[in-house]
Structure 1
Amino acid sequence: MTTPPSRSHGRLSMNAAAAPRELMTDRPRLASAWEARVITLFPETFPGILGASLTGRALDAGLWRLETIDLRGFGEGRHRNVDDTPAGGGAGMVLRADVVGRALDHAARGTPRSRGDWPVVYLSPRGRRFDQGMAERFSAARGITLLCGRFEGVDQRVLDAYEVEEVSLGDFVLTGGEIAAQALLDATVRLIPRVLGNEASAQEESFSDHLLEHSQYTRPALWEGREIPEILLSGHHGRIDAWRRDMAERLTKERRPDLWRAYCAAHGRDPDEDREL
């Protein structure tokens, strides 16, 4: 079959059978830029929120690239069917292995074979839960391919054949993978060098050391009878840092016992200690 064109942001992609395969737009294109390729039934929903704020400016600057690949174009028959009833019976529909396989082949063009250099991820509620460590791993790769699911899921055979990693945002179900894909990309892209502009921000924020971020304050110093903690106005940076660390530990212990245990293990501390925070 003729491979359908894909839509891109930060560049224009043509039909894979045509030449040249890519054309430049007025946005700069850096040869080493990190790239995301998203397979979706709704390519018009991208870049969505990724086109705004820091990620949007970085996209415009060519620090990363985003290409959407319309799954419907790889469908079967006149109506471009992409799904079928589940084997063994049951409610709903399942994305077909042959259709998804063709889309993954198209997305793989020009990418490294190593999944470490270019992960292929299916956004799935049964996947491993996405976290900051995963975002750091993805940002260190050359790029990523994301498969946005719909209906009851994807034929397991194509996930196995293409070594697709399943990733979940949490213990809840969305109608499709597009929102999850944008959240994953936002968390990942902001870790790419020069995107944030202040690398210290990424190093000091929540989860960087298994801790939630400390509480933040700004002007006015007095609002609705509530004052900024006096220590933050002292100008004593050593005491301020200690206060922030204590606050981060307190919040983590109270709200995320799982992170607290990981933090204590990393620092040789007893998570059940009665230390006053």
Structure 2
Amino acid sequence: MKSSLQHVPIIFNYIEDKEYSIQPIRWLLRPISIWPVSNSIKERILSMVLLLLCIFLIISTLIPCALAIFLDETKDVEAKVHDFGPLSNWALASLKYCSLLMHVGDIRRCIEHIESDWRAVTKIEEREIMLKSARIGRFIAIFSAIFVHSGVFSYSIFQAMTLNKTIADNVSVHSLPFAFYDKILDTTRSPAYEIMFMIQCLSTFVVNSIVIASCCVTSVFVMHACGQLKILMSLLDNFIDENEKRDFSQQKFAVVVEHHLKVLR
């Protein structure tokens, strides 16, 4: 029979452990105004400003790209099909963003559950189980962020460095990373090109963050739940002990049931 968990309660610094667990999603959610804010007026104003800025950046790339695909008669079918990929990505990211905004309250409750779980840890074995799950969640979140951001930004920079757009007098100019409807703004001239290039890069960061956030929030929360289930399995493995009194076994059974119900919530 496996040895039981230590019975001597130990007080850990649960705040540091909680921060270690949720830190990656805070980095991702706060810039796009998804991270739950407190009642502070300053934080609420900052969150609203970030929200409006993110919406503006998404629209500033989504609408000109759509107009370029559907209204620009100078583009051939192959070019329009090529530009449709980023357009669909921006459209899906917009839907994901709306979904995340509608579930900010759920994210807040999940974070509160994580904090309460870390606060309830009193055994070294339980803390090690939760830290192991937190490391996996952090790895998935950080790896996803690095992989997506580096890949998309590399593509954007490569596109900007390519001379593939020719205007009058056989002068070649740099193209924008994503399609843009020239009747809105003449991006062949400076500083219009530089402004739109910067806006599209910032828009890319927002869209990437939305896509990554959907994955990272899931990974962090799911891995935390896995850690709680592993603790529950450990409690069940050590539940039966022939040398223990009946009343103490009933007490352990109550602890197992309570932990199980908490995991289900």
Both proteins in one fold, TM over 0.5: no
Which has more radius of gyration? Answer: 2
Output the TM-score relative to the length of structure 2. 0.22
